[in-house]
Structure 1
């Protein structure tokens, strides 16, 4: 394995659109959502470990999930955890990781990957990451992986690229989640990809870019004291991290830099961000009903997604295209086409019920 290869797995999110399974106390990345025997975090770690040494994989998460991460990944040490003391979006977290890695290895090339994505073809994924690593080790570029869109999804960001004969394309524009009309337009044009939020760059390239576009953030997290990978790191982060601007890597860096490139990929990607995306991955009966956990009888019912505690007996009649999810003493029933509303329903439930349910 190449010792210059590093990875940061982003595992701090709450996964609010998969409520009530995903909660603040136990978010989706720690669940085995598809019944594989591994949580999404474990699956992501083992996939990346095919290319990157265990000791070079860092996990960025919230302080409250420290024990959950260490329980699920016994191979790693506390030193590999980047514990965010405050929620500040992805840019500060990635800068923190880059500074920590740079202190260890100035020639490092790093992958940034979410902990909660499903990837069908792991061999193809590893091949794509290796292609990206080699390109970024040679050239001063920021790379992202772009997924070939197969429908006009309004839940993803889109990347427009310049057509050329090389495998890696120059990025023209980033568009945050468009409306349906725009997404349909993008799909028809053929030069747009979904933004998977998977990035590769050399640490020197990303640090130079931060200095150019987010210099205040660099001044906050890099005060010249070389605290990273020492006993002073934890206290330094506790005292300074929350002073950082709350901004995503997309807005702060990727949409502004001139050196962004994209590698179009096709490895069976699914972000498992909603009940609908989970429904798409599950096996279904001849009436397109999908079930997790429950013993179900369906009568005159089709296109439903039912998720309950193991062995719960559920009888469904006359229901079409609904999501029905039970977790402990919470039951959520929602039309599949309105799955994006679950995030808002969770907020309302937080106000109406006890916080422990969300």
Structure 2
């Protein structure tokens, strides 16, 4: 398979409400430099994959609202490759949309789908595994995913169970399990045949099309109404999106398909889904405080993540342990790290205030 048949889709449509107040509806987390490394999450995703895929073959699918922001952050990608979805419909419709669009350019294309906001520390291994995945997906009618070697019984991730039939670089997938309870997650880890689902997929446009025809026929029909890469595409998509089922690619296709394969990979991966996961991946001082600020004094305080937008502000913290402190132009959040899953609820409650939306 020639390298020119390889395409990439970066999915960048989420709002990232667990990352509020840094992540807002106007400026979601994929467009932020969450770890303070000088590049935003979507830019880092592009930086990685552009080593093996040319710019003209890289696409971004995002919410219509973020098309302009995507252009600003990824000027290397051709303007027409940044596509806006009119409504949030989860990941199955955008995968079908992009597969159709890419198939219209190259009917033999093999594509990788990447979330825009994940951390991958072991870049070389990532690229090796992606090369392998492209190879497998180009030659077989397989739906390939990268599975992350789990390091702890995390209840915030989905799990992939594989059939260990042969000593190989990849395995047939047996089951997908959404976020399990702790006891179940522990048993998954002990059994040794489970991996974390990183939401990274590789398939040939023909293979994924067959899967959609089989498992989501109604959605497939809706999307066949449009002519892709043409003047009419945008208005056609706007017409069909309200009619399309809201479902994830995992529920809609991967849990049902019999031809799903997984490549185990130790990538130094995190989906950076919560402030706690950011804390775990951030640089910390001698008191285990993660902060990028210059003018911060901490006393008898440890295990905190402190993110202050105004770098000219002095911050003094005394006797605080294991807290999240985030200060933006409009919001100050102070909450225990163990409550990071409640941030979505804070956002919902704030909406009930008069003009509360301006904080979100």
Name the residue aligned to 2:190. Answer: 188
Name the residue aligned to 2:53. Answer: 52
* Inter-partner Cα distance in structure 2 for 1:120 and 1:89: 27
* Inter-partner Cα distance in structure 2 for 1:297 and 1:79: 48
Is 2:55–2:78's contact at 8 Å kept on the other side of the alignment?
no
Is 1:294–1:308's contact at 8 Å kept on the other side of the alignment?
no
Query: Against the structure 1 CA distance between its residues 271 and 333, is the aligned structure 2 distance closer, same or farther, given a 3 Å change threshold?
Result: same
TM-score, normalised with respect to structure 1:
0.97
**Which runs of 5 or more structure 2 residues have no equivalent in the other structure?**
none
1:295 Cα offset (Å): 2.1
2:169 paired with 1:167: yes
Is 1:302–1:321's contact at 8 Å kept on the other side of the alignment?
yes
RMSD: 1.2
* Inter-partner Cα distance in structure 2 for 1:88 and 1:242: 9
Name the residue aligned to 2:106. Answer: 105
* Inter-partner Cα distance in structure 2 for 1:26 and 1:311: 22
1:294 Cα offset (Å): 5.5
Name the residue aligned to 2:86. Answer: 85
Name the residue aligned to 2:259. Answer: 259
1:190 Cα offset (Å): 1.0
2:316 paired with 1:302: no
Is 2:12–2:115's contact at 8 Å kept on the other side of the alignment?
yes
* Inter-partner Cα distance in structure 2 for 1:344 and 1:254: 30
* Inter-partner Cα distance in structure 1 for 2:313 and 2:260: 49
Matched residue count: 356
Name the residue aligned to 1:143. Answer: 144
* Inter-partner Cα distance in structure 2 for 1:155 and 1:77: 35
The Cα offsets for residues 269-319 of structure 1, whole Å up to 9 and x where unpaired, read as 111111011101111112211113362211111111111122321111111
Name the residue aligned to 2:321. Answer: 320
Is 1:294–1:307's contact at 8 Å kept on the other side of the alignment?
no
Is 1:294–1:314's contact at 8 Å kept on the other side of the alignment?
no
Matched residue of 2:179: which SS? coil
**Which runs of 5 or more structure 1 residues have no equivalent in the other structure?**
none
Name the residue aligned to 1:332. Answer: 333
2:247 paired with 1:247: yes
